[in-house]
Amino acid sequence: MLITSTATKFLKRKNTINLNGRLLDLTKPVVMGILNVTPDSFFDGGKYKTEKKVLKRAEEILEQGGTIIDIGALSTQPGSEAISTKDEIDRLLPAVKAVKKAFPNAFVSIDTYRSWVALKVIEDCGPCMVNDVSGGNFDVHMYETVGKLGVPYILMHMQGTPLKMQENPEYEDIIRDISMFFTDCVKKLTKAGVKDVIIDPGFGFGKTLEHNYELLNRLDSFKVFQLPLLVGVSRKSMISKLLGSNTDEALNGTSVVNTLALMGGADILRVHDVREAVEAVRIMNMVRSTTE
């Protein structure tokens, strides 16, 4: 792969993320626990409807070794339709506020592709990472908003929209196509003043089963960007379809794929099952320590 001019600006791999003066150390991989306050997410939809349940889940993530709590209020599973901005705010804002108050030292990420939602939540609740599954494609103001807020941004690749992204995704070369997307977006984010960017190739978002496993096999290609890499494969259909199982039975497959992702250079694992992912990280760290 050709190293682009944007990529070569990052001469040293970025191993820390700055969230309002607090540094998140990524010299070793960390785990991001999912907290969905949605009624329709593909695995845990409807589980966390009350503040008590939200806080219990946040506590569980931290107690099991999670480093980041990722809170989302709208489903982006294949075939899902967007909800109104008001509905998203009404779900997201109370959850983030409660988690930030109860666990002030936790790193919190908000899963939204709307700049106004990011602005409102961060102004009301304090600094959070912004996890944008659209990579800025759904809201032209996202980059400038994140730049002004001065918070880390997770840049994810998606082909299409959640409603139709799995109808017929096509790539000439999936690594090259996603790398071109990252190159263009990182350049724009830098221009907008965003200082901390995490890249996410977007497993399952506009990718066939074969695309997902080719992406997994060639994951180390993204090291050229010298930016932290997030991988989210937790209980996704790329696992259950391949194994002929269902989402509830996909934990073992998820652990295998997470381990392969760590071998490919993942710095952050975004998961439902925190304890198992933390164990995978610990084992990988031990293996690597024997070669140092």
| Residues with active-site annotation | 236, 270
Query: How far apart, in whole angstroms, are the C-alpha atoms of residue 189 and residue 144?
Result: 8
Contacts of 193 (CB under 8 A, 6+ apart): 144, 147, 148, 150
Query: How far apart, in whole angstroms, are the C-alpha atoms of residue 176 and residue 201?
Result: 11
Pairing type for strands 30-36 and 22-25 reads: unpaired
Beta bridge partners of 17: 24
CA separation (Å) from 103 to 57, 129, 268?
12, 15, 20
Contacts of 5 (CB under 8 A, 6+ apart): none
Query: How far apart, in whole angstroms, are the C-alpha atoms of residue 128 and residue 121?
Result: 8
Q: Is 265 left (phi over 0), alpha (psi -120 to 50) or beta?
A: left
CA separation (Å) from 144 to 16, 38, 135, 162, 195?
22, 27, 13, 24, 12
Count CB atoms within 10 A of the CB of residue 256.
14
Helix, coil or strand: residue 97: helix
Helix (H) or strand (E) holding 175: helix 174-191
